[in-house]
A and B are shown apart, each in its own frame.
Chain A
Amino acid sequence: MVEPISWPDVERLIAEASSTEQLKQFRVAWLGKKGWITAQMKELGGLSPELRRVRGAELNTLRNHVATALDAKQALLEDAAEHEKLLRETLDLTLPGRTPVAGLLHPMTRVRRRIEDIALRLGFSLAYGPQVESEWYNFEALNIPKGHPARDMQDTFFVDVPGLVLRTHTSPVQIRSMQDRQGALPVKVFAPGLVYRRDDDATHVPMFQQVEGLWLDRHISLGDLLGTLTEWVGELIGPEVATRFRSSYFPFTEPSVEMDVGCAICRGSGCRICKDTGWVEILGSGMVHPAVLKNGGYDPDQVSGFAFGMGMERVAMRLFGLDDLRLLYQNDLRYLERFQSGGDAV
């Protein structure tokens, strides 16, 4: 049986529908081949042309409205059904995620690279030398002849090849770099690398990493050294860090200068780390000694320059806030995995 319908009825019935099955029945009843609107359309033929046009337009509009309303309600019901289904698939996302398996570079590699990056930015090329070094490069060429008290300052490991030692510092690379440049200027290199000293206690490890900077040209002065170091340490540790210079001694530089930075632990008020001075030594430096220039093939009357060197572990301790450098080389993976981020530094 086909009931006559009106738009308000249609709106009410669709709004009340709660299943797609009901909607299907309405669609058949109203729009199907035998539906009321279809039936009304068929009867248009019997009307006068004037009446047929008016009635035809009414029926078309009604049919379009009904179809649109049915489609909209259909979409609404399907969406609700899907939502219902998806809610049953809920997962506990507070469970741990599957973290991507990415490796981690050792903190010392990251610190070394930061140092190297700054060196490159400041125009220092990277240079290297052998870890098993000749006594000449390690000592004599650096103005440390046999019997010199300074040889005692660095307790040396010897190897079973006469004349060779494990290098006690990266300074031999100064001589090698000068020789490589064969008298050309400037000589401007940075030499990172492993060095060895026969020391093993709370504050020393027998194998550690140093970095050496060398800048030779005409008319380089101590003021240039101090200026360059201030800039360099500012880049490395932060421009706000307090710095100071102290006279010191190294056989291969004259004059020699040590640089301190404000203690990061106590911020200058004095603590165990800085031995209550508020300062921590960061590097040693000086004007390259004339004897060293000569050994590298440069004339000290024409050429001058400066060199500086520091322990990279000290920088690591500073950047990561460490108080025991031995832990860096213990290779305890639980410890190494804590070095996930070095902030802006590494």
Chain B
Amino acid sequence: MILSHRWLGRHLSTLPDSDTVQRGLEQLGIEVAQRTLYGQNFGMVELVEVVSRSPHPQSDHLALVEVSRGSGEITQIVTGAANGFPKDRLWYAPPGTTLPDGRTLGVRDLRGIASPGMLLSSDELGYQWLGGDLWVWDGPEPLGTTFLQGIGGTDTLYDLELTPNIAQYLQSVRHIAMELGAILGIEPIDPPSPFPYRSDPIAEIEDFSRCPLYGLVAMTLKPGQVSPLWMQSLLRAVGHRIIHPAVDVTNFVLWDLGEPLHAFDARRVRGRIRVRQAYPGETLSLLDGQLLTLSVDDLVIADADKVLALAGVMGGVDSGIAPDTKEVLLECAHFSAPGIFASSKRHGLATDAALHFGRGTDPEAVYQSPSLVIGVLGAAGILDKVGPSALLGGMPEVRRIAFEPERIRQILGVLWSDEKIQDALQHLGYVVDHQTVRVPLYRHDVALIQDLAEDVLRFYGLENVPLTTPKGETHLAQRDSKMAVGEHVRDVVAAFGYEEVFTSTFSRAASQADYLTGAQASAVGVTNPLRDDASSLRQTILPSLLDVVRYNRARHDRPIKIFEVGSVFEKEGDAVQEYRELGVVLSLDAAVGWPSRVDPCIYDLTGLVDGLSRRLGWPLVRSPFADMPAFLHPGRAQQIRADGRSLGYVGELRPSLASKHRVRQLGVLVLRVPEVLARLASWPGRPSRFPEVQRDLSLVVPENISYAKIVDTINQLQVSDLQSLSALDRFRGDFGVSLTVRLTFQSPDETLKDADVDQFISNIIKALGAIGVEPRQ
């Protein structure tokens, strides 16, 4: 909402400066997003008097007008206007002036004659005035007076951000002024007196629950009039166009009292006005040209044969005010807010009227508005006479809340006296009598003692509440152990040299399907996605990480070594399950740079699985896939299992897929972070004090024998003094695959003798021989 500083002055006996107003608004919980000035561009537009007018030598429809300016200077301007004769006083915009439509004027050449700036019509200034093309000013101001002075100077505008609670009553200059007056100690000016409605048979209500109070007043306006200048400048300042006095005055009341009025052209209304539910399928052509099909949930204003308006939202084009309208039916209603809110939502019509009625209006305004309209139009000589009127329904019941100052003190944590609390409430329009508080009818946001506490707080300001901390028992705080696992995973993987990324949970369902393994649950769809590629929640984390690879490789040629622990989602019946996955991606590019480093390879990732398993105490096992997923390299991938369940995989992405992400070879690892897996603690024991013996064995290994098979075979011998077994070297020669392993022996009880170790080695060679592995000669 745009609030005009000058407009506030209509309701306050003295008008504070704009800084004071802004501070007051902020104390009241009204955020001022911006403060601007209206009218600055009118500071150059000056009042001039025509000295002479002569035809343009080169044109039939242009004239040369000489004007006398405040400085005494005579300026010649070319104009196409039909009026503007000697002695006429006009508004002149010299070069450099910016008009409301955004044009900045210069010196123009019009058929060979230079014309500096422009003589203005009221329309060009954004206003309406009577008379011909150019605005002939009939005020007494001296020449050189600026248009800005003519409209009373600049006006400060506050761009207010109203939260939904205060929007329920504060979309009204009067209500804002009253609250400001209360906290700043300024007396408000009396509101318009209630209009004495008659009981003429001009309207009827069929649904009082939707429309508890309805006033209608017939008026006759004098033809060919425009709204008074003071009102035009207030409306222009807050962004309204000037249309017709009957429309302008309703816009004025909309913001002044927060009451949306509607003016019908009485010529278009047949019989009585009826406030009723719409019939199924009934239609209405709106003022903005759209055709609306109504439902029985819509409340409408109708006459004997047709719908005239969607109640509280927008009027129909047929009964709208036309330039020649003289007979007006003015509607002053109080609708029930939820119904209007629902209609406005249903039809997507967020009009100013709907934004007021849909949140709640002040029923008092039904009485005050006609008086205000009559006052404004009457003073401006626009109103001819007031005709029949009617008021149907009644005022809503006053709500009461028990007055419990002690509760208010407890809620706020203050020691303010009962009187001080009562004083705040009364200043804000509440009536405190005996033990109850009567809530003003316009305060739709107030129902509880907490609401009263909030108003007392707004009245005195948050800075007057002493800062304290709660007193009471203290308890030790805890981390959630399930979530802590994810944190450990992050720490370990980062320590292992991977960079963490943070990708979106959204994904395209189709792109996910290619990267799923095992039995497949269905994806959770997003029914209102922002984009097509965000139409479902991801089921696996890998595609998000592949996007990161492509994004980075498209921009710079660099190795990728990243991970993420993030949520994935699956639909299980009517429920959605959320799991956490660890995803790791490593580009297997040759290492470049100085000093040299080892080239990354898939063993970095299989080793990462083993390292994670050890560091986190998880019994993770790598094993062959029974059913290799198509997105993985069929010869370079393994499943990761624990406790007999599959938890993920490690391997190389199929190269054809990797190349789509601008990488030749890409290692990937995905592991569902288990929540229930028992974590084993290391149990290190005491190191032996006897020397260890190392023996290296070079073996020739047949193609079909894996390293795991060799380890298994040796382990089956159960050599208790064999401390460790590691691979030292592996290469392929004419003779097949050569593997060198290092065996380390150590006894906890004695120094091993060569003969013992020789015996172990010969047993090992014998066992390996049985599976076709021979020592290399």
Query: Which residues of A does B touch, CB under 8 Å?
Result: 95-98, 101-106, 108-109, 113, 116, 119-128, 130-132, 147-150, 153, 157-162, 164, 166, 185-186, 188, 194, 196, 198, 200, 206-207, 215, 217-224, 226-228, 230-231, 244-249, 251, 254-257, 275, 287, 289-290, 304, 328-334, 336-337
Smallest CB gap from A254: residue in B? B450
Smallest CB gap from A129: residue in B? B578
A125/B477 contact (C-beta < 8 A), A206-B506, A304-B410, A329-B502 known: yes
Judged by a CB distance under 8 angstroms, whether B5 is at the interface is no
A103/B551 contact (C-beta < 8 A), A198-B528, A223-B413, A228-B469 known: no
B266-301 vs A: 1/0 string, CB under 8 Å?
Answer: 000000000000000000000000000000000000
Q: Are A149 and B528 in contact (CB under 8 A)?
A: no
Q: Are B494 and A103 in contact (CB under 8 A)?
A: yes
Smallest CB gap from A247: residue in B? B29
Give the Cβ gap from B22 to chain A, nearest Cβ, in Å: 10
With beta carbons under 8 angstroms apart, the residue of B164, B341, B458, B502 that contacts A147 is: B341
With beta carbons under 8 angstroms apart, the residue of B410, B453, B502 that contacts A106 is: B502
- In the A-B complex, the 3 residue pairs with the smallest Cβ-Cβ separation, listed nearest first, are A223-B413, A221-B413, A247-B29
Judged by a CB distance under 8 angstroms, whether B632 is at the interface is no
B544-556 vs A: 1/0 string, CB under 8 Å?
Answer: 0000100110011
With beta carbons under 8 angstroms apart, the residue of B410, B465, B569, B575 that contacts A219 is: B410
Residues in chain B near residue A220, CB distance under 8 A: 470
A331 to B487, CA, bound (A): 20
Q: Are A333 and B29 in contact (CB under 8 A)?
A: no
A159 to B414, CA, bound (A): 46
A206 to B27, CA, bound (A): 32
Q: Are B34 and A132 in contact (CB under 8 A)?
A: no
A124 to B468, CA, bound (A): 17
Residues in chain B near residue A102, CB distance under 8 A: 494-495, 497
B569-584 vs A: 1/0 string, CB under 8 Å?
Answer: 1010011101000000
Complex A-B: 9 CB contacts under 8 Å: A103-B496, A119-B477, A149-B167, A206-B506, A207-B505, A221-B413, A221-B468, A246-B31, A331-B502
Residues in chain A near residue B575, CB distance under 8 A: 161
Residues in chain A near residue B474, CB distance under 8 A: 123
Q: Are B454 and A255 in contact (CB under 8 A)?
A: yes
A13 to B443, CA, bound (A): 114
Q: Are B165 and A249 in contact (CB under 8 A)?
A: yes
Q: Are A98 and B29 in contact (CB under 8 A)?
A: no
A51 to B165, CA, bound (A): 123
Judged by a CB distance under 8 angstroms, whether B510 is at the interface is no
- The total of interchain contacts (Cβ-Cβ below 8 angstroms) comes to 244
Interface size classification for chain B: 35 or more
A318 to B591, CA, bound (A): 37
Query: Chain B contact residues: over half helix, strand or loop, or mixed?
Result: mixed
Give the Cβ gap from A261 to chain B, nearest Cβ, in Å: 15
A245 to B467, CA, bound (A): 11
Judged by a CB distance under 8 angstroms, whether B338 is at the interface is yes
Smallest CB gap from A112: residue in B? B487
Q: Are B479 and A108 in contact (CB under 8 A)?
A: no
Smallest CB gap from B492: residue in A? A103
Q: Are A126 and B494 in contact (CB under 8 A)?
A: no
Q: Are A223 and B473 in contact (CB under 8 A)?
A: no
Give the Cβ gap from A99 to chain B, nearest Cβ, in Å: 10
Judged by a CB distance under 8 angstroms, whether B69 is at the interface is no
Residues in chain A near residue B495, CB distance under 8 A: 102-103
Q: Are B468 and A227 in contact (CB under 8 A)?
A: yes
Q: Are A331 and B552 in contact (CB under 8 A)?
A: yes
Further pairs besides A95-B595, A223-B412: 9, Cβ < 8 Å: A104-B499, A123-B474, A132-B576, A221-B410, A249-B164, A254-B451, A254-B453, A256-B454, A287-B411
Judged by a CB distance under 8 angstroms, whether B336 is at the interface is no
A207 to B548, CA, bound (A): 17
Q: Are A255 and B525 in contact (CB under 8 A)?
A: no
Q: Are B551 and A331 in contact (CB under 8 A)?
A: yes
Residues in chain B near residue A246, CB distance under 8 A: 26, 29, 31, 462
Judged by a CB distance under 8 angstroms, whether B163 is at the interface is yes
Q: Are B527 and A159 in contact (CB under 8 A)?
A: yes
Give the Cβ gap from B749 to chain A, nearest Cβ, in Å: 40
A123/B477 contact (C-beta < 8 A), A198-B530, A336-B501 known: yes
Residues in chain B near residue A244, CB distance under 8 A: 463
Residues in chain A near residue B487, CB distance under 8 A: 113
Residues in chain A near residue B453, CB distance under 8 A: 222, 254-255
Q: Are B530 and A109 in contact (CB under 8 A)?
A: no
Smallest CB gap from B560: residue in A? A333
